[in-house]
Structure 1
Amino acid sequence: MSTEIVALAALALVFLIATVRSINMGALALVAAFIVGLSVFGDDTDAIIAGFPGDLFVILVGVTYLFALAKNNGTVDWIVHGAVRAVRGRVALVPWAMFFVCAVVTGIGAVSPAAVAIVAPVAMGFAHRYRIHPVMMGMMVVQGATGGSFSPIGIFGSITNGVVDSNDIEGSATFLFFSAMIAATLVATITYFVFGGRELIARGKDERALAEIGTTADAASHAATRGTVTGTPTSVVERGLGHADGVDATDDDTRLNVERSTTLLGLLALIVGALAFDLDVGFTALTVAVALTLLFPPSARGAVEKISWGTILLVGGIVTYVNLLQNHGVVTWLGDRVAEVGAPLLAALLICFIGAVVSAFASTTGIIGALIPLAVPFLLTDQVSAIGLIAALAISSSVVDCSPFSTNGALIVANSDESEREMVFKRLMQWGMSIVVVAPIVTWAILVLPSA
């Protein structure tokens, strides 16, 4: 039995054991990487641990730490209230607002995980507060970021079009973008209605949210002139800064105080740094979080414990094992087996499947750049449409980013409410694995098969 088959069988065993037993899949995958790396590939521990995704670790730690602080000091509540006010209580529109925000941000060049890292904490906080299914909200965020990324100036679009040009393959940046955007919108629409979209539409305006905002807003508007809020004597300064002269200031999460304003400035710095200056999202978020901790120690209590350590272990372990496979050419070996298939249409379908499977656990950016050259021999025969196959491969490799083992999916799980985190992980894994199967078949049937 070849080493490639043994390594792939070990990965399948990891999933099987973690499914039937209560054990963190990431811990199991790290053990598998250690055993397979030593016994099958002859690596030392330094080579094995080199596959640990340090960048993903920093992103998850930094972002969840920062938004734990923002939640502790009321900044997230303030943002949530602002979002409800913006849609005038129509919570059914909020998931779509998050979808389009992510699409626009990635469409103008932001890295997809950066957009998700920025939007997901607010979106998931809103979902928990106003009874929107967290899986629906998470999928809307991820699919919006995915669709926008294939714009001509988006990261995925730039990479795909660049590889196409360098290999002298016929391509269409416009077709790629619109087909990817339609696919992402379709996935988002399906999940929207499966996870309670009709109920949200039927709900109409959320009167509870409107009443909550109206009450606190009215109280705030009279605070300066009457000096009272909900019957408690206080001044505007007292309400902003907390206790003054022994008087308890009413906590109003629709008004800004010094700490919340500073936190918002920190979040703005994260957005500008990530999008305008291409700063690392994880380190930037961690820097902002540490600065806030030094400035406002009381609200930092318990924030480190709220970092999603279990999720980090899970994702880190799986990605470490997949990187081990990539480093030893297992993915390339799969590609070579595909190349031996005589029927171009079947080979095209297999390539789409490989892209979907690998991307669900590893870098979408890397797999897009690696598999398009793999398809060149088939494209040069003119037996399949180059434009169609490239779009099918790109879509198959990207809509699976909702998998909890990818960066985007992991961010959704990490930013879910702790009471819902396990459920969100399981549902995203189910949806991610379903899309791994369905997306290649559908895109191949629509974009590749008619041109044969």
Structure 2
Amino acid sequence: MPVELVALIGLLVVFATTTLLDVNMGAVAFVAAFVVGSLVAGVPVERVISDGFPAELFLTLVGVTYLFAIARDNGTITWLTSAGVRLVRGRLVLVPWVMFVVTGLLAMAGAPLVAVIAVLAPVALEFARRYDINPLLMGLMVVNGGAAGGLAPSSVLGSLSNAVVERNGLSIDPGLLFAGSAVFNVLLGAVGFVLFGGSRLAGVRTSAREPAVVRTSGPGATTAPAVAGSRLNGHRLATLAGLVVLAVGALAFEVNIGVLAMTVAVALSIASPAAGRRAVPQVAWPTVLLVCGTLTYVELLQSLGTLEYLGRGVAAVGVPIVAALIICGIGALGSAFASTIGMLGALIPLAVPLLGDSTLSATALITALAISSLVVDASPLSSTGALVVANSPESQRDRVFRQLLAWGFSLIVVAPVTTCLVFVLPGA
């Protein structure tokens, strides 16, 4: 049996084991990576770790959740959500869409999508916690907003996708690529809004008055209210300054978001050691284990050429629309675990022979492939989805993970089928 197929079967075994036995998927995936890598593929364990462990994502998850745990502890995030509610005059139904638009505009402006989500997801999830909004709804609105702006010609992913297309001798309309993605994600956001409780917010107005903040010293443990009122005290002003540094550094200057978040968190911890100590247990450690373990296995799977193994079957398909569907499906499947940019860079060349031997529109096919690869970033096994899970309320984190997993995996099927029907089929 080809080693690529064994690796794919191993991934299915990981999913089945964790589903049936309810153990941390990341822990099982670590073991599977070592077993498949060393015993089946002959890859040394040291190399599995060095090549596969997502160190940058680990630092991002830990740094961001550590920083925002401090900001939540001293009342800064609560103050920000109060300001946001005042901005929309207390109309909660507008809050998810404000987050959608802000995320989309930042992505269009060229800010790295992971950095945008890392900055905005904690604020969005605090809105959800404080005003009893479904955290899945707020998380999806942030992710879909980023995807809506993520293929603009001025965005990181949009400009890189267009560059890859040009390098492979293709010509597409960047405006249509962006418009198709924007419309698709607005509609997807509307579906999520209706499905996950957005409609019940219609007509609901709330006061932006800030209640006392309850500090948490560990899972499920609380103490007396610590900060009351809406004043900007010294700790809050320092934290706001740190968040501004994080946003400007990550979005405008593309400084590594994990390094910057950790630096700001440490600075705030030095200023207030007690707040730093309380924040450490609130880092999303189970999510970090889950995501890092799973992605270590997926990186092994990619290094063994499993996706290329699947992609080679595309060349044998004689029906262009079916081949297009397969390419989009592989893009969606791969992007649910790995880099969207990497998947597009690998799969756009696969489309070249297909476009040369058929009447399919290059713009239509690349649009379908790009959308299929981008919208599955809501999966909790992608960096953006993982940030949503990590910043969800601890009591709801497992449920948010399962719901995002179901949502993301359903899009692996729904997005390729829909985009091929809407964009590719009319020109086939």
TM range, smaller chain? over 0.9
Give the C-alpha shift of residue 251 in structure 1. 3.8
1:170, distance to aligned residue in structure 2 (A): 2.0
Residue 261 of structure 2 is aligned to residue 285 of structure 1? yes
In the alignment, structure 1 residue 301 sits paired with structure 2 residue 277 = yes
Moved more, 441-450 or 322-331: 322-331
1:301, distance to aligned residue in structure 2 (A): 2.6
Give the one of 323, 338, 356 matched to 2:314: 338
Q: Residue in 2 aligned with 1:59?
A: 60
SS, match of residue 302 in structure 1: helix
Q: Tell me: CA distance 1:424–1:382, structure 2 relative to 1, closer, same or farther (3 Å).
A: same
Give the residue type in structure 1 aligned to 2:16.
L
Q: Does 1:351 align with 2:352?
A: no
Following TM superposition, by how much is the alpha carbon of 1:276 offset from its aligned partner in structure 2, in angstroms? Answer: 1.6
Q: Distance in 2 between matches of 1:337 and 1:318?
A: 26
- Counterparts of 2:7 and 2:227, CA distance in 1: 56
1:236 corresponding residue in structure 2:
none
1:429 counterpart residue number:
405
Equivalent-residue separation in structure 1 for 2:16 and 2:393 (angstroms): 27
Matched, 1:3 2:3: yes
Evaluate the alpha carbon distance shift between residue 5 and residue 251 of structure 1 in structure 2; reply closer, same or farther with a 3 A threshold. Answer: closer
How far 1:63 moved relative to its partner?
0.2
> Within the alignment, does 1:123 sit opposite 2:127 as a pair?
no
Q: C-alpha displacement at 1:202, in angstroms? A: 3.6
Give, in whole Å, the separation in 1 of the partners of 2:302 and 2:98.
Answer: 37
Q: CA RMSD in A?
A: 1.4
Q: 1:114 is matched with which residue? A: 115
Q: Which amino acid aligns with 1:14?
A: V
Number of residue pairs the alignment of both structures matches: 415
Alignment partner of 1:21 is 2:21: yes
Q: Which residue of 2 aligns with 1:135?
A: 136
Q: After TM superposition, give the deviation of residue 149 of structure 1 in Å.
A: 1.3
Q: Which residue of 1 aligns with 2:84?
A: 83
Please give the residue correspondences for 1:397-436 in structure 2 after superposition, counting only pairs within 5 Å. Answer: 397-436=373-412
Distance 1:347 1:382 in 2: 11
- Whether 1:369 aligns to 2:370 is no
- 1:46-98 deviation digits (Å, cap 9, x = unpaired): 21112110010000000000000001111011101101111111011000000
* Helix, strand or coil at the partner of 1:152: coil
Aligned partner (choices 288, 291, 295) of residue 312 of structure 1: 288
The structure with the larger Rg is 1
Question: What is the CA–CA distance in structure 1 between the aligned matches of 2:377 and 2:422, rounded to whole Å?
Answer: 21
Query: Corresponding residue for 1:158?
Result: 159
CA contact (8 A) 1:68 1:303 kept: yes
Normalising by structure 1, report the TM-score.
0.90
Kept after mapping to 2: 8 A contact 1:355/1:396: yes
The amino acid across from 1:190 in the alignment is: V
- Contact 1:389/1:444, CA 8 A, preserved across alignment: yes
Q: Can you list the C-alpha shifts for 1:276-334, whole angstroms capped at 9, x where unaligned? A: 21100000000000000001112223211110011011111111111111112111111
Instruction: Give the alignment of 1:184-199 within 5 angstroms.
Output: 184-199=185-200
Q: Which moved more, 1:410-419 or 1:38-47?
A: 38-47
| Residues in 1 aligned to 2:67 and 2:5: alpha-carbon distance in whole angstroms | 42
Change (3 A) 1:404 1:253: farther
- Give the CA deviation at 1:250: 9.2
Q: Give the corresponding residue for 2:182.
A: 181
Structure 2: gaps of 5 or more residues = 213-224
Which residue in 2 is equivalent to 1:169? 170
Q: Which residue of 1 aligns with 2:33?
A: 33
| Paired letter, 1:447 | F
Contact 2:379-2:385 within 8 A present in 1 as well? yes
Query: In structure 1, how many angstroms separate the alpha carbons of the residues matched to 2:102 and 2:174?
Result: 22
Which letter does structure 2 place at the counterpart of 1:272? V
2:220 is matched with none
1 CA distance for matches of 2:186 and 2:226? 43
SS at match of 1:153: coil
**2:75/2:227 contact within 8 Å kept:** no
Q: Report the Cα offset of residue 345 of structure 1.
A: 1.4
